Amino acid sequence: MTSTAPRELRGRRQLHDASWDTIRDLFALDRSFTHLNTGTVGALPYEVLDVNDRVTREWTGGLMNVYPPGMYTGHRETLARAFGVDQDEMVICHNATEGVARVINGLDLRAGDEVLTTTHECYSVLSNFNLVRNRHGITLKTITPPTGWDVRAEEIVELFEREITPRTKVLAFSGITLFTGTMMPIRALCELAQRHGLTTVVDGALLPGMLDCDFRAFGADFISCSGSKFQCGPLGTGILYIRNKVFPEHNPLPLPTIWPVVSTWYPMAGEPPPRTTTSVESCNIGDYFQSAGSASIARGAALAAAAELWDEIGRARIERRIFDLADHARAALVEAFGRDNIYSPGGDDRLRSPLIAFHPFRRPEDAWNVKKFMAFVDRLEHEHRIWIRWTEFDVPGSTHQHYAARVCTHLFNDHDEIDRAVSIMRDLGREMS
Ligand SMILES: Cc1ncc(COP(=O)(O)O)c(C=O)c1O
């Protein structure tokens, strides 16, 4: 596909102060469509499409040795810089699911060890821990996070703390939960884990491209992210951070053992070099994960191009934009449906994210009527060209799983389309009630 981005943007030196309307034109996004579902997949910038296409053509049919570029050394550097870490701690993989599966299956867990996580994790996390439970006899403990406007960060941390036992080895949680869009108190949970000597696995699928964040400062051991959601890289890209040095101000614990279960770098005989105990790397753990046979050279390059575009626009500016639009959407949803019908936290700004889950119907019992939610989402798409999704999750004290409608805002949305979408959702919710 060739670029159809406006010519004046191709030089894009001015992106750090370009208007949001101008920036929207960078995306291969039909203006007649309202995309409020970046939590599932973002929209591709034209130049990311171009890089994907160009790099594919460059090597297809050539005699080039495809293995060295598949290590993505430079692209990993670009991504590492964007998230405050180093190339040896960064892996470009296929998606958040693959990254977290390789981590979970590579943890040094034995029968009797406990993993503490939540029922609000993605299937990619829960199914892999269940596999490890069936295979190695670990115990998997899940807590159900509270939902609703008034949830506070301390409640969540206390809930985890109450369930830690002498057998707990791992704390696993999302950076932002996919079902209710709760921004988990990542640093506080990592500090809790550190106090108890635990390894932390963060499902960060939704973080890159949304938050201007420093992975190391979270204090986690592993953060597995999607490249195709808020970061707007191609589908089939993921960003995996593996802590590979000890910075006591961030996480003083020794590096946890991790077995690179999919690797063509792990030695065929003998041991890899020992991991460091200091802030200087002793082995490039990223290479052990990155080297896994032939790879899509184009997708790695395109993901790095998306990251560079974000750096040019400015990650702090993008974060402010996304959260400003989310606050606008949250206020409009409260007005349309009432605060009691919002599942996502709203009162504690540490927990607010741009993903907002809500109940759009009059009758509370419709919260377990999946057919209604499917029809709601379907009608928004087909009758109004508004793209959202529904989610399902446990609610403390409820015998039913609840379904909710979920919207999320990204830099390419604007206030007017959010107002229009919420007003259509309000009318449709009433009509279907
Ligand atoms: C929190 C969370 N984790 C994991 C995933 C899976 O992401 P991927 O498709 O990149 O594997 C999703 C997808 O929506 C998600 O929202």
Give CA–CA dist 118/346, Å, rounded: 20
What is the mean pLDDT of the segment spanning 17-23? 95
Residue type (1 letter), 426: R
397 Cβ contact partners less than 8 Å away, ≥ 6 residues apart: none
Estimate the share of the chain in helix, then strand, then coil, as percent rounded to the nearest 5.
40, 15, 45
* Tally of domains in the chain: 2
**Same structural domain for residues 273 and 359?**
no
42-82 confidence digits (pLDDT tens) = 999 999 999 999 999 887 766 678 888 899 999 999 999 99
Quick check: is 36 in a domain? no
pLDDT at residue number 1: 36
CATH number at residue 282: 3.40.640.10
Mean pLDDT over 216-237 rounds to 98
Q: Summarize the confidence of residues 210-217 as an average pLDDT.
A: 98
pLDDT at 7 over 50: no
pLDDT at 11 over 80: no
83 and 218 belong to one structural domain:
yes
19 domain-assigned = no
Which tens digits make up the pLDDT trace of 356-391?
Answer: 999 999 999 999 999 999 999 999 999 999 999 999
214 in any annotated domain: yes
Strands 402-408 and 389-393: antiparallel
Question: What average pLDDT does range 315-327 have in this prediction?
Answer: 98
Phi-psi map region of 27: left, alpha, beta (phi>0 left; psi -120 to 50 alpha):
beta
List residues near ligand 1 (CB under 6 A). 39-40, 95-97, 122, 124, 174, 178, 203, 205-206, 226, 238
Asked if 267 and 320 sit in the same domain, the reply is no
Residue nearest to atom 12 of ligand 1 (CA): 205
Same domain, 326 and 291: no
Q: Are residues 157 and 264 in the same domain?
A: yes
- The per-residue pLDDT for 9 is 53
Domain of 120 in residue numbering reads as 69-306
Q: Is there a domain that residue 336 lies in?
A: yes
The predicted pLDDT at position 321 comes to 98
Same domain, 258 and 340: no
* Ligand 1 center from residue 141 Cα (angstroms): 21
Are 152 and 189 in a shared domain? Answer: yes
Same domain, 360 and 218: no
User: In Å, how far are 94, 121, 203, 318, 432 from 97, measured between CA atoms?
Assistant: 8, 12, 9, 25, 35
Count of C-beta atoms within a 10 Å radius of residue 261 = 15
Percent of the chain predicted with pLDDT > 90? 93
In the predicted model, what is the mean pLDDT of residues 115-121? 98
- 41 inside domain: no
Q: Is there a single domain that holds both residue 410 and residue 273?
A: no
- pLDDT on residue 2: 40
In a domain, 21, yes or no: no
Q: Domain check: are 348 and 273 in the same one?
A: no
**Mean pLDDT on 205-210:** 98
Tell me, yes or no, whether 88 lies in a domain: yes
Considering 239, 274, 306, which residue would you say is the last residue of a domain? Answer: 306
Cβ proximity of 169 and 155 under 8 Å: no
Ligand 1 pocket, mutate which of 40, 91, 97 (most atoms under 8 A from CB): 97
Last residue of a domain, one of 274, 306, 338: 306
What spacing in Å lies between the alpha carbon of 7 and ligand 1's midpoint? 34
289 and 362 together in one domain: no
DSSP codes of every residue in 335-399? HHH-GGGB-S--S-TTT--SEEEE--SSSGGGGG-HHHHHHHHHHHHHHH-EE-EEEEE--TT-S
Please give the mean pLDDT across all residues of the chain. Answer: 95
Shared domain check, 193 and 218: yes
Residue 3: per-residue pLDDT: 44
Query: Cα dist. 25→5, 20, 325 in Å?
Result: 6, 9, 18
For ligand 1, the distance from its centroid to the CA atom of residue 174, given in whole angstroms, is: 10
Cα 236 from Cα 228, distance rounded (Å)? 7
User: Where is the domain boundary, 278, 306, 334?
Assistant: 306
Evaluate whether residue 30 is within a structural domain: no
Any idea what the CATH number is for the domain that residue 414 is in?
3.90.1150.170
